[in-house]
Amino acid sequence: MFDKATYVNRRAKLKELVKSGIIILFGNNESPCNCPANGYSPFRQDSSFLYYFGLNRDGLVGVIDIDNDIETLVGNDIDIEDIVWFGSVDSVHDMAESVGVKNSAPMKSLKTICNDAMRLKRRIHFLPPYRHDIKIQIFDLLGIHPVQQKEAASMDLINAVVKMRSTKEQQEIEELERAAVIGYKMHTTAMRLTKPGVTEKYISGQLDGIASSYGAMVSFPNIFSQHGEIMHGCPSMAELESGRLVLCDCGAETINNYCSDNTRTYPVNGKFTQRQLDIYSIVEACHDYVLDVAKPGVKYMDVHFAVCRLMTERLKELGLMKGDVDEAVAAGAHAMFLPHGLGHMMGMDVHDMESLDQINVGFDAETRPRLDQFGTNCLRMGRRLEEGFVVTDEPGIYFIPALIDNWKASGHCAEFLNFDMLETYKDFGGIRIEDDVLITKDGCRFIGKDRIPYHPKDIEEFMKNN
C-alpha cells in the first residue's frame, strides 16, 4: 500500500475527470474453489479498487458521490466467530481512515445509496464486472441483467481509469522493478532446473513457489512447455527431451500487486542446434528492434508492423516465405508465424486493465477500429506511446501444425508461404522472447536491472555453468 495522500489524490483526479454522478467501485470477494470456505488462494483484490482505495481486503465497495463530494467505504465489520478463525482485522471505519475516506457504512446501506441515486435519476458509474458474484450484486442493486452490464458500464469512468492507470507514477515503477527482481529469480531458476528427464510441471511448480515466497503470487498461470507453439500452453507431466526447445513465459506480482511478465525460450540440453538458431536469431532481432524505436509519440501498432516486416524479410532469406514483403504483411501472411500482437500494457494486471476491454486500453480514436485480420485482431496495444507507459515487447515465431494444414488446404496466402518447407518445421515448436519496457521522456528502457539471459551465447553459458 502507498501513503494515504496517493489514494486521496487519485480519487480527487478521478472526480475531476468523471465530473458528475456517483461512482461505485466494487472490490473483490473471496472466490470458492471446491467448497465455500476453501477459496482460490491467495485472495486477489480488483486492481481498480486497489488503485483508488488501496485496501487488500475482501467484501469492500468504494462509493464516490461526486456531486456532493462524499466518499464512503462500504463493508461489514467481522464478528467474533470470524475473529476466532481468522484473527482480528481493522474495522471498516479504520480501514477507510487509513486511505483518507471519511465515511464508512455496512454493506446493507449500499442498496439505499443506489435506490436514492436511482430515484433522483443520477448517473451511477460502474466498471464492467468480470466476476459472477459482482454481476449478481449489480443485478440486485441496479436491476441490470448480467448480460447487459458490460454495455451499461460507464464509458466516462472507463476512460478516466484508463487515462490514470496507463501512466505509471514513480512509486509504481519502483514496484514494477521489484516484480522484475522476482521474475528474474523465477526465470533463472527455470533455466537452472531445465534438463532432460525433468517434468514441465515440476519446474512450473518451483516457479509458483518463488512467486509466492517473495511476493503475492504469479502474475498469471505459468506457461512452461516444450510446445511453445501453443500460445497459452499449460505445463504438463511430459518429461523434457534433449534436442527440443522449452518456452517459459511467467512473472510475479509484488505484495502490492504489480506484475512482471517475461518469456525466454531455450534448448532443454543447453545447446542450440543451427536450425533452432536460425529462427531464434530472427525473434531476437525483432525483440531488440523495439528498444531502438519505442518512444513517446510512436504508435505501437507501427512498431508491431515494422517487426512483422523485419520478420518476413528474414523468413524470406530462410526460404520459409516468399514474394513482396510489404504485400505479404498487408495480406497477413506473417500471422502464420506471429499470430499475436507485439505487446500489451502492463501494471497491476499483467494485461493491464484488460477487464475494461483492450479496445479501450490499447486503442484510441486515432487507432480504432482495430483491423479485424487474423493475427492483427489479437494486437492488444496500438496507440501512441506516452512517457510513463509500460508495455511488453514480445515477438515470437511459432510453427503450429494445425494452422499450417489449415492454410495449406485453403491456399490462404499461398503466394507468400513455402508450404513444402513449412511441412518440415511441424516438429519445431515455438519461440518467444519477452521483456517489459518503460517509455521514458525521449526513448525507453527495459524494466529490471538484471537481464534474464536471452542472447544464445549467454543462455548456453548460463546453462553450462549453473
Residue ranges in contact with Mn ion by CB under 5 A: 261, 392
Residue 81: DSSP 8-state: H
Q: Which residues contact 418 (CB under 8 A, 6 or more apart)?
A: 319, 320, 321, 322
Cβ 410 to Mn ion shortest distance, Å: 30
Q: Toward Mn ion, which CB reaches closer, 71 or 434?
A: 434
| DSSP track, 83-136 | HHHH-----HHHHHHHTT--EEE-TTHHHHHHHHHHHTT--EE-PPP-SHHHHH
Rounded CA separation 343/381 (Å): 6
Shortest Cβ distance from residue 447 to Mn ion (Å)?
A: 13
* Residue with smaller CB distance to Mn ion, 175 or 261: 261
Evaluated on CA atoms 303, 308, 311, 313, the torsion sign reads: negative
Q: Kindly write down the DSSP assignment for every residue of 448-460, as one continuous string.
A: SSSPPP-SHHHHH
Instruction: For residue 293, give the C-alpha cell.
Output: 524505436
To Mn ion, the closest distance from the beta carbon of 104 in angstroms equals: 38
Least CB distance to Mn ion at residue 249 (A): 7
Nearer residue to Mn ion within complex by CB, 45 or 219: 219
CB of 251 to Mn ion, least distance (A): 8
Q: Using the minimum distance from each CB to Mn ion, give the nearer residue, 172 or 261.
A: 261
Question: Reduced to 3 states, what is the DSSP secondary structure of residue 3?
Answer: coil
Least distance to Mn ion, CB of residue 54, Å: 26
Complex with Mn ion: residue 149 or 392, whichever CB lies closer: 392
From CA 102, how far away is CA 94, in angstroms rounded?
Answer: 10
**Is 83 buried (19+), middle (13-18) or exposed (0-12) by CB count in 10 A?**
exposed
CA distances from 299 to 239, 294, 311, 367 (A): 42, 9, 19, 9
- Least Å distance between CB 372 and Mn ion? 22
Nearer to Mn ion, 332 or 343 (CB): 343
Q: Shortest distance, CB of residue 32 to Mn ion, whole angstroms? A: 29
Nearest distance from C-beta of residue 345 to Mn ion, angstroms:
10
Would you say 265 or 392 has its CB closer to Mn ion?
392
- Return the C-alpha cell found at 14: 478521478
* Sheet of 223-225, strands arranged across: 223-225, 245-250, 262-267
- The C-alpha atoms of residue 353 and residue 345 are separated, in whole angstroms, by 8
Nearer residue to Mn ion within complex by CB, 48 or 392: 392
Which is closer to Mn ion, CB of 92 or CB of 190?
Answer: 190
- Name which of 365, 201, 391, 389 is nearest 296 in CA terms: 389
Q: Is there a contact between 176 and 447 (Cβ–Cβ < 8 Å)? A: yes
Residue whose C-alpha cell is 536450425: 275
